[in-house]
Structure 1
Amino acid sequence: MADRERVIAYRVAAHQFDRATADAARLRVFDLGLQDSERSAVPALAARLETVPPLDGGAFTLTWTVRGAPHWHRAGEVPALAARLWPLGDADAVARMNRPPVTEGLRVLHEVASALRDVVTGPMTKGEASARLTPLVPPEVTGWCRGCEATHVHDPVFRLAVLPAGLRFDPAEQTVTFVPLEHRREVPARAEGFGDLVTDYLRLHGPAGYAEVAQYFGAPVRDVKAAWPDDLVAISKKSWLPADRVDAFEDPPEPEVVRLLPPLDPYLNARDRDLLVPDEEHQKQVWRVLGRRGALLVDGEVLGTWQARAAGGRLDVKVSPFVSLDVDMFAEEAARLARARGLEEAVIS
């Protein structure tokens, strides 16, 4: 295999698109968390599992984590995740808070998270939590919100504080509602275990280097480099893998799968987009800023996009291939996705 072909084949296998795993909790995507923006989690699981289990049954926890986005994590791993995702320095904290006018980013974030932890002692909506939190935090991280017609903590700061405050979402509520984690810990004093997240990223999205990992977690490259694990294996001058994944990289299976990947699927969240989709015009379609679309994955290559709309008990899936493709090849995947969404049938066009 050529270098790019080997990387693609390795990642397709690492993402477990072969559906050989029946237990959702054993999917590697949960090592980093499964993003659930725009209802992306269920179709991402449908691309990896024969049967998609309910995520709100207690085995998984939903909260704001990586890049301030909602992610599902294995429930038992969430309390320790707060220290792993804690910013690596003041500059990192300020950047993740969307650069409020502060210099001591870690101290300010600790104050906000500690106040939020004290405020939310039982189920509480985001609006109520925000109203109670705002007068308790430095004014530099608050501002007037025209939509709410109120002064409150800036949203990026609020999102960053939720996990270290020991809070999760109640998935049964339509409005964002927080619930304290069981056995929640004190707000972290420092980052601990970020190297484990680096290793998890490389197992799933490797081989990769400092820049890709930094962009994924929203951290400065220099801080990521300083926290880089010393037991990784260099695959090239700028990319590494964990030692236990080198053999899998050297001889990956052929990536013979056909999948409908949703927008924000973990496979598409790797940061080396030029490798995943070399054509720049195609990249613009796959990673649209507005009106996100899913990706057509055929034997490891992203060969187009798709959109879906539910109408009654039917899922209408419109595919837009970059090359000539028989759309019927996606019929089984569309039917599987419809079932995962609780619909009776799917139509491909």
Structure 2
Amino acid sequence: MRIERRAPVLRSAFGRRNSRMSPTRLPLSRSQILDFRRRVGSLDERLPAGAASLRRAAWAGLQDSMPRAALLSMHARVDGVDPTAWEHDSLVQLWGPRFHNYVVAAKDVAVFSLGRLPDDARRRARAHDLASRLHALLDGGGRPFGEAGRALGVVPNGLRYAAATGTILMRWDGARQPVIRTVTAPDVDPADARLELARRYLHIFGPVTAASFAEWAGIHPAEARAAFAILADELVPVLAPIGDAAILASDEAAFRLPSSSPAPARLLPSGDAYYLLWGRDRELLVPDSGQRNALWTSRVWPGALLVNGDIVGTWRRTGAVVTAEPWRRLSPPEREAVEAEAQTLPLPDADGAIAVRWQRGDARA
């Protein structure tokens, strides 16, 4: 089996360009970049309910390190998401980029696992050895990962390194330890999986660099540079506010489209792909340094308030209460949009209507 180069819902996203990269860098503005990211991230208009839409929403994976964050990321992008959507039979959980818990399409396990398998022979052998020992221990069953680690005589968190073999899946309900199980490795060349992982990163986060790909995926910078070098004929160099970067050639036309109509409000959870950024990419999304510090904290990130296409504050939840902290004074229609969006959150532990409590983010809020 070979990696699927194109998903049906993104048929135009990953075509290969035959011509050489142009030496001229395409200039892109901040608004062009953010408009593109919202469109390809399905944040301007929700997708229809169904497995194909869930796969598209998870094209770069849905981080689920905070309880049910992936569910809320789905809700921001797909219609009809209920509290059980994270358990849809088209989806699985695994340790993905940077060894975080991710929800991905079952069809895409190879991309998010084998795509991160180290090139270094020693580290690769370590991953395969650990996966083999775990497979023998579990013998077709599942165990909490802490119990499995202790049975193997390893630090439980070390089991995450074996996930890059494509043989370890998990189920985490947000309350107890993840239960892990082993499966047959995907019949995919890890090199092909790495290239597809890079294409997906380019499509969802573009414009990007090899260095930012390495940071996001949690792979060695040399591995990321090698992947971008192989993909050179598929890329267009661009000049963006973040500096020199690249996009997929097949995305160039989409970057040139007129500005889209953003959704009135979306409540993005901690670790959502739209703001899963580092370095200058953060400056592009949130120009104010104080606001960046409020969003990307040194501990658990809060959620992000996306209002009319801009990140305008943060939010947190306790039970059925959402605490919103805007960075500027929101108009009455903007507040109403945030409150209406909060009412639709598919929260299994919210008994009754969800209340929004407004907190001052600055003197004008």
Structure 1-normalised TM-score?
0.81
Q: In the superposition, relative to structure 1, how do residues 283 and 24 fare at CA in structure 2: closer, same or farther (>3 Å)?
A: farther
Give, in whole Å, the separation in 2 of the partners of 1:79 and 1:199.
14
Structure 2 gap ranges (5+): 1-26, 358-365
2:28 and 2:238 in contact (8 A); partners too = no
Displacement of 1:113 in angstroms is 2.4
CA 76–283 in structure 1, closer or farther in 2 if over 3 Å, else same: same
- Aligned equivalents of 1:36, 1:190: Cα separation in 2: 24
Matches of residues 66-77 of structure 1 in structure 2 within 5 Å?
66-77=97-108
Query: Which 5+ residue runs of structure 1 have no aligned equivalent?
Result: 91-103, 135-151
Partner residue of 2:46?
19
Distance change in 2, residues 1:10/1:25 (3 Å): same
Q: Which one-letter code corresponds to 2:249 in the other structure?
A: A
* Matching residue of 1:180: 182
Checking the alignment, whether the CA contact within 8 Å between 1:63 and 1:163 is kept in structure 2 is no
1:73 CA drift (Å): 1.1
1:295 to partner: Cα distance = 0.9
Structure 1 residues 252 and 83: alpha-carbon distance in aligned structure 2, compared to 1, 3 A threshold:
farther
Pick one of 28, 33, 51 that aligns with 1:7.
33
Partner of 2:21: none
Which amino acid in the other structure matches residue 217 of structure 2? F
Distance (Å, rounded) in 1 between the aligned partners of 2:300 and 2:271: 12
CA-CA distance at 1:68 after TM superposition: 0.7
Q: CA–CA distance in 1 between the matches of 2:261 and 2:159?
A: 41
**2:343 counterpart residue number:** 335
Hey, what does 1:301 align to over in structure 2? 310
Identity percentage over the alignment?
Answer: 26
- Following superposition, the deviation at residue 222 of structure 1 comes to 2.7
3-state DSSP class of the match of 1:238? strand
Change (3 A) 1:197 1:341: farther
Q: How many residues in Structure 1 have an aligned counterpart in Structure 2?
A: 312
Partner of 1:282: 291
| Distance in structure 2 (CA, Å) of the matches to 1:80 and 1:6 | 28
**Are 1:269 and 2:276 an aligned pair?**
yes
- Secondary structure of the residue that 1:303 maps to in structure 2? strand
CA contact (8 A) 1:286 1:293 kept: yes
Deviation at 1:341, TM superposition (A): 6.0
Contact 1:206 1:240 in 2 (8 A): yes
What do you get for the CA RMSD once the two structures are aligned? 2.6
Letter in 2 for 1:130: G
SS at match of 1:332: helix
TM-score by length of structure 2 reads 0.77
Pairwise CA distance, 1:243: 2.2
**Displacement of 1:159:** 0.9
Alpha-carbon contact 1:338-1:344 (below 8 Å) kept: no
Q: Which has the higher contact order (CA 8 A, sep 6+)?
A: 2
What secondary structure does 1:337 align onto? coil
**Please, which of 229, 245, 254 is the counterpart of residue 251 of structure 2?**
245
Aligned to 1:111: 129
Counterpart secondary structure, 1:234: strand
Distance in 2, matches of 1:338 and 1:76, equals 25
In the superposition, relative to structure 1, how do residues 86 and 187 fare at CA in structure 2: closer, same or farther (>3 Å)?
farther
Q: CA deviation at 1:286?
A: 0.6
Q: Which residue of 1 aligns with 2:59?
A: 31
> Alpha-carbon deviation of 1:2?
6.9
1:84 corresponds, among 97, 115, 118, to: 115
CA distance, structure 1, for counterparts of residue 249 and residue 96 of structure 2: 27
Distance (Å, rounded) in 2 between the aligned partners of 1:338 and 1:69: 22
C-alpha change, 1:333 and 1:261, in structure 2 (3 Å) is same
Q: Evaluate the alpha carbon distance shift between residue 190 and residue 207 of structure 1 in structure 2; reply closer, same or farther with a 3 A threshold.
A: closer
Q: 1:260 to 1:293 in 2, by over 3 A?
A: same
**Shift in alpha-carbon separation, 1:309–1:338, aligned structure 2, 3 A:** farther
Distance 2:190 2:78 in 1: 37
